[in-house]
Structure 1
Amino acid sequence: MPSATAPRRAAVLMLFGPLDDVPSGRPARSAAVSRDLDVLLLARASTLRSHAGEVAFPGGRVDPDDVDVVAAALREAREETGLQVTGVDVLGSAAPVPLAHSRHLVTPVLGWWRAPSPVRVVDEAESAAVFRTPVADLLDPANRGITEFRREGRTWRGPAFVVEADSGSHVVWGFTATLLDALFDRVGWTEPWDHDRVVAIPGR
């Protein structure tokens, strides 16, 4: 991805675990993916100036008081979803990813939710929904596709996931979908899917 001059540091928490009692209705092809393996996501408020309405991982900018990017990811996740960070085991962090459009350098922090705690929308001005999504559903080829959008005179294509939650149907695209797609490829969970199926981006 293209980088920006003097980007601001940020971090997101990619939190996995058996997060609730609503398992996927389908088995994943990989035996390593159980039906109750979930990932924590949130839908950003539609009134935000940046990335309004998009599905994202909990996260945000690194503050001066944060010890490091891991501390920033955990703090932001607690502030956005109310999770108890003492129940999270940090597995590690990936290389920072540049986001030129918003001038950020984002570090993905991978976590395992050893002791799940209730989560919710803490600030309605920031988030419209907080929800858990079964990984097996994300891997389902029927829920996969690509998005296309134009920005600064260029057409961008990227992976997309369609997910259902209590808050309704959501399309995961852009940065968040790219991280999920790369992780699934890296650990060997990806199932064959149609790379020509275009998924509409809500509100675009």
Structure 2
Amino acid sequence: MRGDPITPILNALGRVGAVSSDFDLNPDVVLPENRKLRPAGVLVPLEQRAGGLHVILTKRASHLKHHPGQIAFPGGKQDDVDADVEAAALREAHEEIGLPPSHVDVLGALPTHETVTSFTVTPILGLITDKFEIVPEPGEVDEVFSVPLSDVTDPARFSIQSRRWMGQKRSYFTVPVGPYYIWGATARILRGLAERMNS
């Protein structure tokens, strides 16, 4: 039987919620009905510490084609070797930060999130059960760090900002934590978790 602080996470996962997308705050965007979305999975790795749960995040390498330098969960597209998006998330976390799948107790999944890069991302929440050596994947991950889960699941810490993207104004959620500026899909997924944990 799981006790706090895991119980609020399980309760949040049990609540009904809608899917999200990078276009949530941009109602004028019309998405083509015949668009092809590729399945992907990201792991939201939770680590128990004396001060409470922490979530592990990565800073993507600055030379990458998609989302360079952004804060992200470990994860990626589902490959042929993956049984499902959960397997993809666990495999990618192993490759990107050195977290063995055997060290993760999967708690559940959040609703999918559609990205501007045409992925349908399933966030998988997993509790880290054993210590492991963090090994950032060379060439893809510049930094691996953790932040208190409470800092990124407090709705009051989120704000909406905007910038020009492909000639149009695009609005998105942000949640700054210390020196890290979390925005885009990662912030939207965390915002969805925050809504569930505080409803």
TM-score in terms of structure 1 length: 0.75
1:73 corresponds to 2:89: yes
The count of corresponding residues between Structure 1 and Structure 2 is: 169
User: Aligned partners of 2:143, 2:166: CA distance in 1, in Å?
Assistant: 30
Q: One-letter code of the match for 2:78?
A: V
Question: Given residue 186 of structure 2, which amino acid in structure 1 is its aligned partner?
Answer: T
Which residue of structure 1 aligns with residue 120 of structure 2?
105
Q: Which residue pairs with 1:185 in the alignment?
A: 195
Shift of 1:128: 0.6
Contact 1:89 1:114 in 2 (8 A): yes
Tell me the CA shift for residue 143 of structure 1.
5.3
For residues 177 and 137 of structure 1, what CA distance do their matches in structure 2 show? 12
Give 1:48's aligned residue. Answer: 64
1:11 is matched by which residue type in structure 2? G
Contact kept in structure 1, 2:158 and 2:191, CA below 8 Å: no
Q: Is the 8 A contact 1:160 1:173 kept in 2?
A: yes
- Answering whether residue 186 of structure 2 is matched by residue 172 of structure 1, we say no
Cα pair 1:162 1:170 within 8 Å, conserved: yes
Match of 2:170 in 1: 156
CA distance in 2, matches of 1:51, 1:107: 17
Structure 2 unaligned regions, length at least 5: 1-20, 24-30
RMSD of the alignment, in Å? 2.1
The 3 A distance-change label for structure 1 pair 94 and 142 is: closer
Question: CA–CA distance in 1 between the matches of 2:180 and 2:85?
Answer: 28
Q: Which stretch has the larger CA shift, 142-151 or 58-67? A: 142-151
Q: Could you give the per-residue CA deviations for residues 25-63 of structure 1, whole angstroms, max 9, x where no partner exists?
A: xxxxxxxxxx33100100000010110000000000100
Alpha-carbon distance between aligned partners in 2 of 1:98 and 1:155, rounded to the nearest angstrom: 19
Structure 2 match to 1:138: 152
Give CA deviations for 1:59-90 in whole Å, capped at 9, x if unaligned.
00100010111110000000000012211111
130-139 or 70-79: which moved more?
130-139
Q: Percent identity?
A: 37
- Residue of structure 1 in register with 2:134 after alignment: 119
Residues 76, 89 of structure 2: 8 Å contact kept: yes
Q: 2:118 is matched by which residue type in structure 1?
A: R
Query: Which moved further from structure 2: 153-162 or 63-72?
Result: 153-162
Please say if residues 160 and 174 of structure 1, whose CA atoms lie closer than 8 Å, have aligned partners that are also in contact.
Answer: yes
Residue 36 of structure 2 corresponds to residue 6 of structure 1:
yes
Structure 1 residue 16: deviation in Å? 1.3
Look up the SS of the partner of 1:157 in the other structure: strand
* Cα distance, 1:69–1:173 mapped onto 2, change above 3 Å: same
Structure-2-length-normalised TM-score: 0.77
State the secondary structure of the residue aligned to 1:89. Answer: strand
SS of structure 1 residue aligned to 2:106: strand
String of CA shifts for 1:97-140, please: whole Å, max 9, x gaps: 222x21111111111112232213121x1011011111233356
Distance 2:97 2:111 in 1: 24
Alpha-carbon shift at residue 15 of structure 1 (Å):
1.4
Residue identity opposite 2:126 in structure 1: G
Question: Comparing 71-80 with 110-119, which one deviates more in the overlay?
Answer: 110-119
Give the drift of 1:142. Answer: 8.4
